[in-house]
Amino acid sequence: MTVLPFDERDGTLWYDGAFVPWREAKLHVLSHGLHYGGGVFEGERVYGGAVFKLTEHNERLHTSARELGFAIPFPVSELDDATRELVRRQNITDGYVRPVAWRGSEQMSVSGAGARVHVAIATWEWPRVFSGPARDEGISLGTSRWRRPAPDTAPVRAKAASLYNICTLAREEAEAAGHDDALLLDHRGLLAEATGANLFLVIDGALHTPVADTFLNGITRQTVIGLARDLDITVHERALTPDALADADEVFLTGTAYEVQPVRAVDGHPYGVGKVTRSLAEAYARLVRHPDGRG
């Protein structure tokens, strides 16, 4: 299947405070963010023309930037308004939003101090990551040789572009081995996450999820934990060794792009899509379509 490259598409983006033609949204090749990883981003979903938890995502964009030592030059409220208007202009019903902030090209050195911070927002139609049998019956994970770094070695609380090098390497190796995604351990050898989604195990009807101390505490992760408690499902946030996978009856992932995604196998060990996974997937689907509680 031929996919149209993102730089050859038409439409509108928001770039440094103005709406500009899609093809004209460019940056210089000597931008600090490109060379030294001085960039942060968010992933947001549009459901029925509305962005789910928009403000929370833009607040986290600001938090991620502070973790990397720079400030977003636009307040959260302005990013919220720009996103809503962009979604309207692009006529997005069910899609994805990508805000990104990076240090510019004022200087070329390891230190990014003094470089201008740029911000852009793009949105496009994108109903879901997985479809067909993978969506309903689950995806396959393979444990990666790459690991999440320790908190004192990387800005693990930030959604930083530089940290996704690990995810890219792990995902490509997993796909080459016939899996849909990779499962990453942390620097201690504990279960961490997938390349772009948080991990949950269902053991004896209760949810078990790794403590988010070496990876991003996802907004979808927090949402699903809240939904589980609303459904009287016990939730344990704890250190999990890989041996815990053998005790699990169900495994699933959560993320803005993944939503609640069942896992059918980890390293060949099979799992069913059980009652807990289905109930949380259904509750999440209702919430994103009716965030005010209706429906």
Q: What are 216-275's pLDDT values in tens digits?
A: 999 999 999 999 999 999 999 999 999 999 999 999 999 999 999 999 999 999 999 999
Distance CA 291, CA 295 (A): 9
pLDDT on residue 46: 97
Query: So which residues are the catalytic ones?
Result: 159
pLDDT on residue 294: 39
Tokens of 6: 């993102």
Q: Please state, as a whole number, how many other Cβ atoms lie within 10 Å of the Cβ of residue 120.
A: 18
At 207, is the secondary structure helix, strand, or coil? strand
pLDDT on residue 2: 62
* pLDDT average per 10 residues of sequence, the chain (295 residues): 83 98 95 94 97 98 97 98 98 97 93 94 89 87 98 96 96 97 98 97 98 97 98 98 98 97 97 96 94 53
pLDDT on residue 7: 92
Structural domains in the chain? 8-125 (3.30.470.10), 133-289 (3.20.10.10)
pLDDT on residue 292: 65
CA angle, 150 then 155 then 159, to 5°: 120
Nearest CA to 86 among 26, 17, 156? 17
pLDDT on residue 110: 93
pLDDT on residue 127: 74
